[in-house]
Structure 1
Amino acid sequence: MAPPAIVPLYFNGVYAFAHESHPAVVHQLVAAANELVGKPYKWGGGHKVLFDNGFDCSGSVSHVLYRARLLDKPLNSIAFARYAWPGPGNYVTLFVKPKHHVFMQICGLRFDTSGTLTGEGPRWRASSRSYDGFYARHPAWL
């Protein structure tokens, strides 16, 4: 028997919203990510200060995971290559290209600093992107 399909997040074009069927930690992740939407891209942002005025890729992913108690300190893309478990998760998957980039998907919706404009900060993205060279990682039971 196949596991039940995961309900996708609701996305209004700017913010994401978890479904009542999602575990509490998914609601926490989504709320933390929503708080970063609209912040500018800032290289090194989110690594020394949890509530920074801008975030880079690993700083934004670190912030979201930290706020959901899935991480105890900020990581860079090299460290994220060893974070948690290899492979995709059911609810949360991090995509890591060490020394280059990291982004996450929560229930299929991408949270990323790379989009259509250079220097764009963390945002939810409905569009796909290339996964070439990325490794999938996920928190233990998610």
Structure 2
Amino acid sequence: MKKTVISIVGALAVFTSGAGSVFADQPQLTASVNEVVGTPYKWGGTTTDGFDCSGFILHIFKTFDVKLPRTSKTQANAGEYVDKDKLRPGDLVFFNTDGKGISHAGIYVGNGKFAHSSSSKGVRISALSESYYEKRYVTARRVVSEEVYDSMTTEKH
């Protein structure tokens, strides 16, 4: 067991050492999300001290100078509707988790996954195909221009 732990720690040290950011050569959206993965959930939170789902979205989109409404319900009316099978990174995805309409939101990051602030686990990446989210998926919205989309998907160096 000790050898395994030492090997893992050693591998992490080698992997994370070197010049530059661990976020180098990643699309800017991915890098922005990765910087806050693990941030705890905080109802009404909009800072790195803690986010609720819509506060997390506001934080990420502020990086790209995109202004959005404050709540997931109002964010679900922003931009243009997009079919689930036409999602691209940066699109917002919405869920009905309380049985009363839109109550949760996240940012599609590609490959069937979305980033969000979960009330139980904080900021994380989940799959749209997870049964919990698949059953509760409601809609998606495209809220960024082509120019902003291009900046989100270019590599951060």
Structure 1, unaligned stretches of length 5 or more? 1-16, 21-26
| 3-state SS, counterpart of residue 141 of structure 2 | strand
Structure with bigger strand share is 2
> 1:112 corresponds to which residue?
116
Per-residue CA deviations over 1:29-50 (Å, capped at 9, x if unaligned) read 222211211111100010xxxx
> 1:8 corresponds to which residue?
none
Partner letter of residue 72 of structure 1? K
> 1:92 corresponds to which residue?
90
What is the deviation of 1:106?
1.3
Structure 2, unaligned stretches of length 5 or more? 1-22, 96-100, 150-157
Size of the alignment, in residue pairs? 113
Distance in structure 1 (CA, Å) of the matches to 2:107 and 2:63: 15
The TM-score normalised by the length of structure 2 is: 0.59
Matches within 5 A, 1:1-142: 27-46=27-46, 51-69=47-65, 71-72=66-67, 75-87=70-82, 88-97=86-95, 99-108=102-111, 109-114=113-118, 119-126=120-127, 128-129=129-130, 130-131=133-134, 132-138=136-142, 139-141=144-146, 142=149
Per-residue CA deviations over 1:1-55 (Å, capped at 9, x if unaligned) read xxxxxxxxxxxxxxxx7977xxxxxx22222211211111100010xxxx34011
The higher radius of gyration belongs to 2
TM-aligned CA distance change 1:106 to 1:54, over 3 Å:
same
State the identity as a percent: 30
Greater relative CO, 1 or 2 (CA 8 Å, sep 6+): 2
Distance in structure 1 (CA, Å) of the matches to 2:138 and 2:38: 25
Distance in structure 2 (CA, Å) of the matches to 1:106 and 1:19: 16
Give 4+ residue runs of structure 1 displaced > 4 Å after superposition: 17-20
Superposition RMSD in Å? 2.7
Structure with bigger helix share is 2
TM-aligned CA distance change 1:126 to 1:77, over 3 Å:
closer
TM-aligned CA distance change 1:74 to 1:120, over 3 Å:
farther
Partner letter of residue 53 of structure 2? C
